[in-house]
Amino acid sequence: MDSALGPPEAMAEKRDELTPMMAQYHDLCARYDDAIVLFQVGDFYETFCGAAERTARLLEIALTSREDSTGEYPMAGIPIDNAESYIEELLEAGYRVAVADQVEEPGETSGVVERAVTRVITPGTLTEDELLASDDNNFVAAVARGDASPGEDAPLALALLDVSTGDFLATSSTSRESIADEVSRFAPAEAVVGPAAPDDLLPADCMVTPYDEAVFDRERAGEKLSRYFRNPDALLASDAEIRACGALLSYAEYVRGGAHEGERGETDADDASEDEATSDDAHLEYLTHLTRYDPREYLLLDAVALRSLELFEPRAVDGRDDATLVGVLDETASALGGRKLRDWLRRPLLEPDRIEARLDAVEELTSAVRTRERLHEHLRDVYDLERLIGRISRERANARDLRSLRDTLAVVPDVREELADADCDRLERLHDDLDPLVDVRELLDDAIVSDPPIEITEGGIIAEDYDEDLDTLRRTARDGKQWIDELEERERERTGIGSLKVGYNSVHGYYIEVTNPNLESVPEDYQRRQTLKNSERFVTPELKEREDEIVGAEERADEREYELFRDVRREIGDEVERVQGLAEALATLDALVSLATAAAQYDYCRPEILERDGSQTLEIEGGRHPVVERTQESFVPNDARFASDRRLAVITGPNMSGKSTYMRQVAQIVLLAQVGSFVPASAARITPVDRIFTRVGASDDIAGGRSTFMVEMDELATILQEADEHSLVLLDEVGRGTSTADGMAIAQAITEHLHDRVGATTLFATHHHPLTDLADDLAAAFTLHFEVDQEDDEVVFHHEIAAGAATGSYGVEVATAAGVPESVVERSRELVADADDEGLESIDEEATNVDTDSSTAPTHETEATGTATADGGDIPADVAAELRALDLAHLTPVEALTELDRLKRSLEE
């Protein structure tokens, strides 16, 4: 175990001799032995022993020490007011953090102040706004394996929970790859894994948390679920899903401050009352919905596709954050809308009716410019209701949070008014779903002042006239303070001491201060309270009586305010489902307004969505790459036309001509259409696809011991095994990581397989120019190329796609344009010329008995060795066959030289 975790060994040896406070720390470390315990001592969170040494080093804070009768212990602390920034650093270093707060007021106990862990902070269970990205979910996952039915594989289940918002999802499949794809889709920050369930399907940046395997027990998980949802057996599809969801709830309760499941031991399975009590302490009141979904209900995007299409992260390490699809589309005004838009991009739709419903809303909002703009302005005043109601339900919200809720509710009537005349069904339903929560707003208006302080225990948060008892206490305090204000003038007149002052401090209370030269004029009823260097402080019986009255009234008023505030907070927490329903409607509207804004701003068109009747149509006129066109001064639009009988395009052209950009733009246009967005094109007709596969760009997995070529082959294997006629496949430069002959063979075999057996809509960009001949042999294949011109040894890229094959790869010219040193370029030209001089392009003609030079003797066939040359040597039959197959006019110089070298070695052998 890490020396920073678990009970400190230096304390463990003398646990019974420790002071009560240090014993508390030791016991909490033992209980939360998988986390660094931050132990409240006054205004600081302290750590001791190994944890102190580790945190001091990681956080760059001072390492001090604390000494008691049992020894001296290293100590390091962070201020509570600024704890979040330090906690974030601990999380980034891979630690979990258990926050142990004082749960008693120091003045209310005669012994050591009781402390308890109120929350366990982990990467996947964050609820602090300062540590969360506002525009995306932060999921913790659970993976569980179910029991196998006869003749079937055991199902795997995935449960996902955003503790900050209450979003709770579950799915399952007998396909390990399917669950791995869903993990990639949602990118959880943390996961707990059940017995026999694989953890290698989780990404490297997902923290795998060891947790008690008993919580994955089917019966226990079902009991846990039944405390949140009626009839979980009907809600979920399999025992594996029940195991995953129940275990995830147990873990979520644990991090909220509930007991670790493993601590209760085997006996607690029979001790329902104890288990229920523990659960009630950490019950997630705001968790009201569990959504079970089938991955096949949405367009599937695996980790490779998400990365290649740059949905959320740029492919370039130093790429701009906005150089992503979401960066282009995100015009949302609220955190709610930002998260909803990202969810839509993660899970594009399949059913045309659902897609059309979104498109209807986007079209109406695109046309109604003033309505769209006013909606955007109103939505800017919407706070993050999902996380607000989560904090309210967890009783961690302050008065400002409640006012943020009130301010959001104040916007709802204006939003409803803008949608009052909506024509499309989707916007009409949103209008009806926008519950203004009038009763909640009125309660907040009546109860909470307009500008409350952050602290909720020091008064000043409850409005006047809300509570009669509070008003009475406040009047008493005000009247007393007015009497105090008048006392100074009265005493000056009574004593004749013009410098007499009446003051107050928290230690001695109210006092009358008289300077030393005036002490002889002090009346007999003054009682000395404090002696200072230049003055004395006194109190009178009447002042003491008023002080008790004022201070007592203020303290009781603060207590009453805190009590009332908690009552209001709990009352609002009871409306969690209504608030969440409103949040969902506002989020959906914000995402639709964002799509409409992007459509209007960037001149997108509404795609025509075709019924899924078994045939596939993909027609795009004037298509543009939505991200690239935002980063370039000009962009050349291109068409794409695919159908069931025209479904495989072999695309050629030099590097930098735009092949990869073209393929990605086709895929992104399809994806956007299925999200329900307008698309960057002048027209589009699209049959929804089930899945997008990509093999675009070189990459390797050095840590996993896989070369670029091996990664490519792994990705290709997935495509060939899982793609079908309803898939869209992008392939770029397949087979370039091995010899030319091997690469060409692999590329051709893949092309034939995709055409003959898979039937997917395929875009295959390649420098293997002989593949273009396949268009003559494969009925549904055709060729495309990017137009270029060569002027004075320079290549001019037009970035326009056209039918047919490219005339060459222009490798040397592209190298020149890229800035390769002139000496290298010239040497390359010499080598190409040498290859031509050696007759590489004429060998094929000579091998077929065609005279190319009257001074050269004709070749003739030999029966045994294959082909005879003019000098009497023989070329083996297999080498001759390879020579005949070469299309040298379409090889790059490097490829030609590689082939020459390989064939030469074959002859020498």
pLDDT score for 817: 66
Secondary structure, 3-state, 481-521: HHHHHHHHHHHHHHHCCCCCEEEEECCCEEEEEEEHHHHHH
3-state class (DSSP) for residue 699 = coil
Over the stretch 351-367, which tens digit does the pLDDT of each residue have? 999 999 999 999 999 99
Q: What is the DSSP letter of 113?
A: P
Of the ranges 125-139, 262-276, 667-681, 888-902, the best mean pLDDT one: 667-681
Q: 707-740 burial, b for 16+ CB within 10 Å, e for fewer?
A: eebebbbebbebbbebbeebbbbbbbbbbbbeeb
Annotate 679-697 with DSSP letters as a single string.
Answer: BSSSEEEEPPPSEEEEE-S
pLDDT of res. 877: 67
- Tell me the residue type at 496: G
Predicted confidence (pLDDT) per residue in 623-657, tens digit: 999 999 998 878 999 999 999 999 999 999 887 77
Query: What does the pLDDT look like over 317-333, one tens digit per residue?
Result: 555 666 899 999 999 99
Crossing angle of helices 335-346 and 659-675, in 10° steps, is 110
DSSP string of 394-435? TT---HHHHHHHHHHHHHHHHHHHHTTT--SHHHHHHHHH--
Residue 708 reports pLDDT greater than 50: yes
Question: Given pLDDT bands bounded at 50, 70 and 90, which one contains residue 474?
Answer: very high
Long-range (24+ apart) CB contacts under 8 A made by 169-172 are: 169/290, 169/291, 169/292, 169/293, 170/236, 170/241, 170/244, 170/245, 170/290, 170/291, 170/292, 170/293, 171/241, 171/292, 171/293, 171/294, 171/295, 172/146, 172/237, 172/238, 172/240, 172/241, 172/244
Statement: residue 792 has pLDDT above 90: no
Tens-digit pLDDT profile for residues 543-559: 999 998 998 999 999 99
Confidence band of 842 (pLDDT split at 50, 70, 90) = very low
Question: Which pLDDT value is given to residue 747?
Answer: 86
- Which of 115-119, 128-132, 377-381, 531-535: highest mean pLDDT? 377-381
The predicted pLDDT at position 131 comes to 87
CA distance 733 to 731: 7
Mean pLDDT, range 101-123, rounded to an integer: 87
Ranking 281-285, 552-556, 718-722, 832-836 by mean pLDDT, the lowest is: 832-836
Pick the more confident residue, 272 or 301.
Answer: 301
Closest CA to 418 of 405, 407, 404, 430: 430
pLDDT band at 862 (very low <50, low <70, confident <90, very high): very low
Q: What is the mean pLDDT of residues 818-845?
A: 62
pLDDT higher than threshold 70 for residue 848? no
How far, in Å, CA of 19 to CA of 91, rounded? Answer: 30
Query: Per residue in 69-91, pLDDT tens?
Result: 888 999 999 999 999 999 999 99
* Whether pLDDT at 900 is above 70: no
Mean model confidence pLDDT for the chain: 86
**Chain centroid offset of residue 140 CA:** 11
Please write the tens of the pLDDT for every residue from 493-517.
999 999 999 999 878 889 999 999 9
* The predicted structure's pLDDT at residue 769: 78
Which tokens go with 388?
């607000």
pLDDT at 408 over 70: yes
Q: How confident is the model at residue 272 (pLDDT cuts 50, 70, 90)?
A: very low
- In the 8-state DSSP scheme, what is residue 252? H
Percent with pLDDT over 90 in the chain: 63
